Amino acid sequence: MIFTAFFKTLGQTGDPRFRKVLFLGLGLTVALLIAAYAGFLMLIQWLVGPEATLPVLGEVTWVDDLLSFGSLFFMLFLSVFLMVPVASAITSMFLEEVAQAVEDKHYPALPPAAKVPLWDAVKDTVNFLGLLIAANILALFLYVLFPPAALFIFWALNGFLLGREYFTLAAARRVGTAEAKKLRRQHSATIWAAGTLMAVPLSVPLVNLVIPILGAATFTHIYHALARR
């Protein structure tokens, strides 16, 4: 079911309406990554200054080096970690448009979806981002304790969190938040698996740029498949 949903999503990338949302999401994803990267460098520079003195090495100017052309590669590396919260922000902004495009093509007989109140959407997004950041900070201890398994822990943790969020947002448009959470609990293993399969390419630089929008569409298909059971 998960792969069927994903291939349906890929099959719709030629749809002009879907492609428009995909490119908008791609552009905003790049902008958010650049902004986060700039903020990260500003924080480093504020903490250590443009130059620092290290034992044995003496004076180093690595902050300036990061600002050079080579920093592009550093940003790509950093995107592995930044893309999880960015993916959450993107889906909150574009899920309504993505889901509607998917439903117009694949589920045209459905009645209009209910609009989620703006305040509820903002509150849920902020709460989820807080949970996402806190969980990943706590996971740092597991990465240190079990370094060979660090990547798998990262995928499993963020797959669980992203699957939970994406499915809830997709389902809430049709059945409301309370019923969406109930449905999510009933199919938690499937949703976790789908979220993990989404988290894996999010850790691949460049590929991860298109995953948030494709993920939103895929979870829309997954919701409809599970709702029919």
The string of pLDDT tens digits covering residues 58-71 is: 454 555 555 555 56
CA 193/CA 222 separation, integer angstroms: 11
Pairwise pLDDT comparison (163 vs 22), residue with the higher score: 163
- Per-residue confidence band for 45, with pLDDT thresholds at 50, 70 and 90: low
Amino acid in position 5: A
Using one digit for the tens of pLDDT, what is the confidence trace for 1-15?
Answer: 889 999 999 898 888
User: What's this model's pTM, rounded to 2 decimal places?
Assistant: 0.80
Using one digit for the tens of pLDDT, what is the confidence trace for 27-39?
Answer: 887 887 778 777 7
CA 52/CA 174 separation, integer angstroms: 55
| Joined tokens for residue 59 | 């004076």
Q: Which residues of 97-117 are buried (b: 16+ CB within 10 A; e: fewer)?
A: bbbbbbbeebeeeeeeeeebe
Pairwise pLDDT comparison (89 vs 223), residue with the higher score: 223
Position 106 scores a pLDDT of 92
Name the 3-class secondary structure at 102. helix
Q: Among 79, 123, 101, 116, which residue's Cα sits nearest to residue 8? A: 101
CA 53/CA 31 separation, integer angstroms: 33
Q: Rounded mean pLDDT of 75-87?
A: 72
Position 75 scores a pLDDT of 67
Q: Among 229, 156, 227, 214, which residue's Cα sits nearest to residue 5? A: 214
Q: Among 48, 44, 47, which residue's Cα sits nearest to residue 59? A: 48
Which positions ≥6 away from 205 have C-beta within 8 Å? Answer: 76, 77, 79, 80
Percentage of residues in the chain with pLDDT exceeding 90?
22
Position 118 scores a pLDDT of 65
| Joined tokens for residue 213 | 């929008």
Position 56 scores a pLDDT of 45
